[in-house]
Amino acid sequence: MISSRQINKRGSIAVLPALFFMLLTGLCSSISYAAWENVSGVTIEQGQRVYERSTRTYYTFNTLTNQSGSDLQGSLRFLVTSASHPILNADGVEAGDEYYDVLSVDGSLADGQSLAPVRFNFQRIRGAFAYTVVLQREVLDTDDDGIPDSEDLCPNDATNLCMSINGQVNGGGAALDGASIKIGLNSVNAASIGNGSFTANVGPEEFASDNINTFFPVEVIAPGFATGHGKVIYVNGTNSYDFLINLEPISTTIDPENDDVTVGVDINKEGAKVGTLLIPAEALPTGVTSVSGEVTYLDPTTDDLESTPGGDLLALPEGTDPNDTPVPLESFGMMEFNLADQNGNPIHELPAAAEVCMQAGAGLSEGDTVPLWWFNTANGLWEEEGEGTVVDRDGQLQICGAVTHFTWWNYDHPVSEHACFKYHMVSDQTDPINTSLTSSFVWRSEGVTYNGVSPERATDRDANDPLTPLPNDKIDSLTVKRSIGANIEQNRVYTYIAGTKVYLKRDGEEQYSLTADQTMAAVFDDPTASGSGLRNVNVQNCQFLDYMDAAPDGILEIVTTYNLPPVISQFSAVSDSIFPGNATTINATITDPEGGAVSSSWSASCFSSFGAGSEDETIAPLSETKTSGSVFSPIFTAPTTMAGPYENCQVILQATDGQGATATAEYWVNVVVENFIFVAQGIVYGVDGLPLLGTQVQLVDYNCGNSYTETTDINGQYSINIDLCPGTQPEDFRGQFETTYIHPNDISMTTWVQTNHVENNEFRDFRVENIQIVPFPPFAGSCEYTPPSNNILTCQEDIHLPVLWGELSGDLHAPVLNLPILSIEHKSGRFDFEIPDTNRAIGFYGTSSYSLLVPVGGISRIMGLEEEVGVPYSMPNTNGMRLDLGNYNVNLHINILDNVGLPLSGAQVNYFSEYSEGASVGITDAAGELNLLSLSVPASNLGFQYQGSEMLNGYNAYAVAHYNGEDIYATINSQEQCSVVLRVYDEQRNIKVNELINVYVDNNSFSGYTDNNGEFFFTAPAGSIIEEGLGGFFYGDYWSPQQGVLIGNCPRDEFDNPEDILLEWVQGEDEIFFPS
């Protein structure tokens, strides 16, 4: 601001010395004007104000100097944000502020340079003179998508899908048609066509990062193959990318009919055992009763590593910062687990650990440990989680470790010592730039002396490196395991051409070519100098790949003439499922990339889980020769005699070109017997354990919507012929038996028995058109097939109604459950109690009490069907139990002990009702006790949860309320032992004498035999309260977090002494579990 002025000798009015200041507004600050932003790091010198008599105006000269540290380019302008005097010569006005254009769109201002002064004219008026000015630059947004061009990777595409990925999906030796492809974090979807190719348009919204590269994550799913995961590395300025992925066929299927993961299942690949999977019963998620699925093993000593998720084995070691630079891995084997429960729901997370074992490779000895890693699809990295130990399993060394979730798992050692090669592949060394092969091939290295792969990455070019056409002064590189001392590591270099793996071959001095024969590939000794092209670290130490030449310069001239193997595509059958003795046409297109003639060679074999068939399947003609691109259409004829209701037949095609190169692929055809009969039969046993005659059995087919009803005969037997609808897949069959009978209390009851099954994966791709197919088998019982004249599949499913009952009784409190129907959910099924008029006196219409006989064992839930309210309970024995219904009050006495049994005082306890909102806080006294009196229990409540950060590391516990005024004693970490008597019965209610029993309690085990009274004795810690509050321990054939018997604390006599606990059990399996 001008504080004074003076008259000079020339008669002009001059201001005091010029104002000079630095603008420090934020670079790319909020844009006040639609297409302009303020610029920082510049100075604007505002010259002194001068009065010009001829025009009767004031003016100043304003000079811009660039001190930002970088050149300024594009349109620039001075924006006058405030002025005491009106401006007269501005180039324009925006939002009421005048501006002056100082640099055109194609202009530039170098760092440290100044522009010619710009004159501002002001109207002469009275008053103090002052103005402020900022520098702005134009923000170009060509496609008008709200993203400035300087930040927009797709400046000319408002959809921001300017990048394309041209991909190829192979598996089983052939191009895969119909594979599902998901690209990016926001899931751009595509599907492969007949030749395995796909194209997808993507943009920066799909980017992910592995802390080294920005990339497009690609996930590929195809039936019969493991899930594929790849990376398409983003290169600045590149909009088109080629991508190839090889899917590995599934190694092993888990069939719950034959495989029990709770005792362990073998993982086999091509007939050889490669590992095991064990999911203990306590590790099964809530409600899971059986596990099916697919497991795929990648052998790191073979080309299986080409299917490695991510393709680069980059990893984050345990304990490192997620933003740290990842390291490569050396693999000892990896597996993918795709598991599902009895209802087909995927199993990902486990409440406890499972054991995963893989065969141990060379160099490992018993007792060695190997880190365990899982593949994180979000960042494309392997993340360390635990470790495995090498153990001897049945004479085979295996690496075994614990996992709590299922995905891809990998036993690996991180490669801590890295080296690198640099190279520029060309077709003519005399003109390396114009004959560059950089964009023609994507190279990889694979370890010869170690199990690792590494992708090509562009890295910084040094002064002694050859020039390449790569942008940003880069050169291609490969990162390998560093040789140390006398331990020389080695690798091979390969690429893919038309889906075929091709190695770099050294033919002599400065002579290189390509070969599909691994034995002919060049073997390179890994450098001893440390460096990583993956991380772009110490790349000045990278060795030229042509180091074996006399004068290595990093330029490799390659003879690219190469006989590519034929390509098999559009491999299919006119009908995937046919009848015995019938025929179908197999079609496959064979193409020679060089355009020569191609030949076919065919074979076929059929397999059945029911035994050997007639083996008279045929395919003809066995061989033919045609021109490239021809369709070959032999006739496959199914076997005439079947070992079972269906067989799975493998058709193998070997294609050969004129120079002897071959390719192999396979296809599967299913053969199903015509007009077979599917019979479900069995015996219904009543509540007395004897066959139940005259009882209706209904079977509901979930898939087809059919319902079948039969009545048991004099022997309690039923038999139902099932007609499955066309198109049903065996693994999808779901059914339910419903049996209605009369409760001993003359109360009508219905039980549901679920019949869920997921069949052997040998038939998982079974597809049937207009043919009725049979599940294999859908029931827990055995199934037999009677070929060929009868074609009957008979499955036995006996239904056992509960034989142990106890009286459930109690008082009714407001709100009274005023319903004529109650439902009991129990391990044996679900029971609906319809209360007849003659029984209303027991209390279901407003009276004060009730009484019902209910099944013993397991966790049950009593509820009113119309209001969806429920009260869980456990009926431990036939002596019965009291359970009040409605709202009532109880007294909860909490006693917290430390790990040696001493009272834990001052522990904070957060207690609250399971279904209530909020929590109350209490503190234990000097005796470690907290007494909570007259706590209200809602009608649908199980009990109370209490927890505290000082109490056993925040241990959560539950107590169950049974009746009004009850004193509930909940001791946490009690040293006291409860005596438990387990009385065992068979399904006919006979006691089981001399029966082996195994019991697991708090990581302890008890083993022995029942006595002459069918009883087995053991002890359990007081206060054993299971998670979810639904049982104190679980046992037998219905082990589940939703089923069990609650112990809580030991029962107390009038002197507060522990009493024995009686548990009665109808034996299904020999194991009883307590929580650990």
- List of E strands, 869-907: 869-874, 881-882, 888-896
Listed ranges 32-41, 405-414, 1064-1073; the one with the highest mean pLDDT: 405-414
The pLDDT value given to residue 809:
82
Tokens coding 509: 């001095």
Q: How far is CA 899 from CA 902, 929, 945, 953, 969, in A?
A: 7, 16, 21, 11, 19
Q: Which of 4-18, 779-793, 913-927 ranks highest by mean pLDDT?
A: 913-927
What amino acid is encoded at 846 in this protein?
G
Name the fold adopted by 677-800. Answer: Protocatechuate 3,4-Dioxygenase, subunit A (2.60.130)
Q: Which of 93-97, 124-128, 710-714, 868-872 has the lowest mean pLDDT?
A: 868-872
pLDDT score recorded for residue 188: 87
> How does residue 263 score in pLDDT terms, banded at 50, 70 and 90?
confident
Per-residue pLDDT, averaged over 570-582, amounts to 86
Q: Comparing 707 with 1037, which gets the higher pLDDT? A: 707
- Distance from C-alpha of 299 to C-alpha of 315, rounded to nearest angstrom: 19
Cite the DSSP H helix spans in 188-275.
none
pLDDT range class, residue 958, cuts 50, 70, 90: low
Predicted local confidence at residue 32, as pLDDT: 34
Q: Which of 362-376, 592-606, 752-766, 975-989 has the lowest mean pLDDT?
A: 752-766
Whether pLDDT at 40 is above 60: yes
Instruction: Please say whether the beta carbons of 293 and 271 come within 8 A.
Output: no
Least confident of 215-229, 281-295, 807-821, 992-1006: 807-821
**What is the token pair recorded at 297?**
């093993």
Q: Which has more confidence, 422 or 235?
A: 422
Task: Say whether pLDDT at 669 is over 90.
Answer: no
| 8-state DSSP, 845 | S
839 within 8 A of 743, measured Cβ to Cβ: no
In 406-473, which ranges are E strands? 408-414, 418-426, 444-447, 453-455, 457-460
What is the rounded end-to-end Cα distance, in angstroms, of the chain? 81
The pLDDT, as a whole number, for residue 773 is 27
889 pLDDT exceeds 80? yes
Say whether 87 sits in a helix, a strand or coil: strand
Segment 832-848 shows an average pLDDT of 47
d(Cα 1076, Cα 1071) in Å, to the nearest integer? 15
Question: What 3-state class would DSSP assign to 683?
Answer: strand
Residue 724: predicted pLDDT: 60
- Place domain 163-247 in its CATH homologous superfamily: Immunoglobulins (2.60.40.10)
Check: CB of residue 506 under 8 Å from CB of residue 548.
Answer: yes
Tell me the whole-structure pTM to 2 decimals: 0.48
Model pLDDT, residue 8: 32
Q: How far is CA 825 from CA 253, 274, 347, 737, 1040, in A?
A: 33, 42, 24, 15, 14
pLDDT, tens digit (0-9, with 9 covering 90-100), for 1007-1059: 788 899 999 888 776 544 332 222 222 222 222 222 333 444 566 555 556 66
Q: Is 758 or 390 the better-scoring residue by pLDDT?
A: 390
Q: Which CATH superfamily is domain 567-672 in?
A: Immunoglobulins (2.60.40.10)
CA R_g for the chain: 39
Mean pLDDT (whole number) for 470-496: 91
What's the pLDDT score for residue 704? 66
> Which two tokens mark 860?
């049950």
List beta partners, residue 427: none
Decide which of 343 and 914 is more confident: 343
pLDDT at 993 over 80: yes
Give 714's contacts (C-beta < 8 A, 6+ positions apart).
Answer: 693
**466 token code pair:** 């050859």
> Helices in 317-426 by DSSP H: which ranges?
none
**CA dist., res. 570 & res. 995, Å (int):** 60
pLDDT tier at 582 (50, 70, 90 boundaries)? very high
Q: C-alpha angle with apex 247: 244 to 248, nearest 5 degrees?
A: 145
Confidence check: pLDDT of 485 > 60: yes
Distance of alpha carbon 168 from alpha carbon 442, whole angstroms: 14
pLDDT tens by residue, 78-94 = 999 999 999 999 999 99
Q: What is residue 911's predicted lDDT score, i.e. its pLDDT? A: 66
pLDDT at 819 over 60: no
pLDDT at position 402 is 93
* Residue 260 confidence class, pLDDT cut points 50, 70, 90: confident
The residue ranges of every structural domain in the chain are: 6-138, 163-247, 252-414, 418-559, 567-672, 677-800, 805-882, 976-1076
Residue that wins the pLDDT comparison between 760 and 620: 620
3-state secondary structure of 1028: helix
Q: Say which residue, 218 or 20, is predicted with more confidence.
A: 218
- Between 908 and 192, whose confidence is greater? 192
With H, G, I as helix, E, B as strand and everything else as coil, classify residue 841.
helix
More reliable by pLDDT, 1 or 236: 236
- The fold of 252-414 is Chondroitinase Ac; Chain A, domain 3 (2.60.220)
For 747-785, the pLDDT digits (tens) are 555 554 544 332 322 222 222 222 222 223 333 445 666
pLDDT digits (tens, 9 = 90+) for 53-69: 888 999 999 999 999 98
Phi/psi of residue 1041, nearest 5 degrees? -60, -10
Inter-residue contact 166 to 202 (CB < 8 Å): no
Q: What is the mean pLDDT of the chain?
A: 77
**Which comes out higher in pLDDT, residue 643 or 219?**
219
For the chain, the residue count is: 1076
Count CB-CB contacts under 10 A for residue 408.
22
Indicate if the pLDDT at residue 642 is higher than 90. no
Query: Which of 153, 280, 278, 133 minimizes the C-alpha distance to 216?
Result: 153
Q: Examine the pLDDT at 922 and tell me if it is beyond 50.
A: yes
Task: Tell whether the model's pLDDT for residue 952 goes beyond 50.
Answer: no
d(CA 304, CA 298): 5
pLDDT for the residue numbered 1048: 46
Q: Is the peptide bond before 566 cis (omega within 30 degrees of 0)?
A: no
Query: Which DSSP category does 557 fall into?
Result: E
Burial class, 411, CB count within 10 angstroms (exposed 0-12 / middle 13-18 / buried 19+): buried
**What pLDDT, on the 0 to 100 scale, is given for residue 1003?**
56
236 or 984, greater pLDDT: 984
Mean pLDDT, residues 671-675 taken together: 75
Least confident of 556-560, 649-653, 816-820, 1000-1004: 816-820
Beta strands in 210-289, from DSSP E residues, in sequence order: 214-221, 228-233, 240-247, 252-254, 265-269, 272-278
Listing DSSP states for 491-554 in one string gives EEEEEEETTEEEEEEEEETTEEEEES-GGGS--EEPPSS--BTTTTBSGGGPEETTTTSSS--S
Of the two residues 303 and 913, the one the predictor is more confident about is: 303
More confident residue, 720 or 553: 553
Interatomic CA distance for residues 188 and 320, integer angstroms:
31
Confidence of residue 17 (pLDDT cuts 50, 70, 90): very low
Q: Does 677-800 match 6-138 at the fold level?
A: no
- Rounded CA-CA distance 208/190 in Å is 18
Average pLDDT over residues 457-466: 93
Task: Tally Cβ neighbours within 10 Å of residue 930.
Answer: 21
Mean pLDDT, rounded, for 464-480:
92
3-state SS class at 1037: helix
Residue 482 CA, chain-centre distance (Å), reads: 33
Secondary-structure class of domain 6-138 per CATH: mainly beta
Higher pLDDT among residues 26 and 575, named by residue: 575
What is the torsional sign of CA 460, 466, 469, 475? negative
Rounded-to-integer distance, Cα 110 and Cα 675, Å: 87
- In the block, tokens 């006495």 appear at 893
pLDDT for 944 = 38
Phi-psi region of 46 (alpha: psi -120 to 50; beta: other; left: phi over 0): beta
For 420-429, 601-610, 750-759, which range has the lowest pLDDT when averaged over its residues? 750-759
Q: pLDDT confidence of 728, banded at 50, 70, 90?
A: very low
